[in-house]
Amino acid sequence: MHSNERKFIHYQSAKHDIMVGDDIRMSAKRINIRVTSNHVGISRQSSQIGQSKMIWSCPLCASELRLMGQSMRCDNNHSFDCAKEGYVNLLPAHHKNSKQPGDSGAMIAARRRIHDAELYLPLAEEIITVIEACTNIKTLLDIGCGEGYYDGEISRRFGDIDLYGVDVSKDAIRFASKRYPAHHYAVANALNLPLISGSVDLALRIFAPSNDVEINRVLADDGLYLEVGPAPMHLWELREALYESPREHSTHRREADGMIMLREGQCRYESSLNSNLLEALVSATPFAFKGDRNRRAALLEHDQMTMTMSFDWRLFKKR
């Protein structure tokens, strides 16, 4: 049964200061977070018990991997060592298209700074609200998980979900594994997921590449897929400062191969960034190398800047 629901959450008066380490202080004024959705009627108990199981598959022959001591091994005797931090590298050298694919250590560290400053917390809360309305989520896969910020927020709220994350950046996965030892992480390509078919209840993709065919394959029957990306005006002030003729982000897609869209929504707010956070935001994004160099230097002179944070999400279900 489909119903229409409109919910407005106002953060108009929510103003707070957050200290992170010694040097980052964010004064965030959040406005107008709007959630628009169709199709509700699903509910989730946070007390549902998750099952711990191994769902990694061999990137060479696709058979199931089993943990044997400090490595993972398949029936065809392909073996992958587990790092001391707990993650496994399932990206064979001949599957890489560069020596160090994915985001660099510097970008990952900068992203962790902005996450620690809670710049993306309203989005994390929005994602948690969406998950809360879903039933029977025992296994969640975060595709292009970066340093695991959203995974950490999700498992803090739903301790029973088995959390898996993949990212092609080894630095990102090392960071995520260290910080969240209870999660399962692998260095892997999102376009060729080393996961057993039908093993995932909810696939999550936030600002990362993905492949619908692969998502469909790893999703269980009735599995869900939540896609989150930038809305047209996301980080508009940054783009205005860096480019003579800034362009809006393109609109998020509403169709995914082999899936039907159940719900959609937006999350919008503004944050007041100090110079440290502004620098971290630039370093964590491709803006670190894009745009005019002089304009970038001028941008980083700002003591404070109000930034538009704007996201769209879509929840799909496997057909």
Ligand X SMILES: C[S@@+](CC[C@H](N)C(=O)[O-])C[C@H]1O[C@@H](n2cnc3c(N)ncnc32)[C@H](O)[C@@H]1O
Nearer to ligand X, 177 or 189 (CB): 189
Nearer to ligand X, 39 or 115 (CB): 115
SS (H, E, C) the chain: CCCEEEEEECCCCCEEEEEECCCEEEEEECCCEEEEEECCCCCCCCCCCCCCCCCEECCCCCCECEEECCEEECCCCCEEEECCCCCEECCCHHHCCCCCCCCCHHHHHHHHHHHHCCCCHHHHHHHHHHHHCCCCCCEEEEECCCCCHHHHHHHHHCCCCEEEEEECCHHHHHHHHHHCCCCEEEECCCCCCCECCCCEEEEEEECCCCCHHHHHHHEEEEEEEEEEEECCCCCHHHHHHHCCCCCCCCCCCCCCCCEEEEEEEEEEEEEEEEHHHHHHHHHCCHHHCCCCHHHHHHHCCCCEEEEEEEEEEEEEEEC
Nearer to ligand X, 39 or 267 (CB): 267
User: Least distance to ligand X from the beta carbon of 164, Å?
Assistant: 13
Nearer to ligand X, 190 or 282 (CB): 190
User: Least distance to ligand X from the beta carbon of 45, Å?
Assistant: 27
User: Least distance to ligand X from the beta carbon of 167, Å?
Assistant: 4
φ/ψ of residue 157, rounded to 5: -85, -40
Nearer to ligand X, 197 or 211 (CB): 211
Nearer to ligand X, 253 or 319 (CB): 253
Contact at 8 Å (CB) between 47 and 22? no
Nearer to ligand X, 39 or 143 (CB): 143
User: Least distance to ligand X from the beta carbon of 207, Å?
Assistant: 4
The Cα–Cα gap between 249 and 252 comes to 9
Cross-strand partners of 29: 15
Nearest to 136, CA basis, from 36, 196, 51: 51
Query: Which positions lie near ligand X, rule CB under 6 A?
Result: 102-103, 111, 144-146, 149, 166-169, 172, 189-191, 206-209
User: Least distance to ligand X from the beta carbon of 55, Å?
Assistant: 17
User: Least distance to ligand X from the beta carbon of 118, Å?
Assistant: 13
Nearer to ligand X, 72 or 91 (CB): 91
User: Least distance to ligand X from the beta carbon of 242, Å?
Assistant: 17
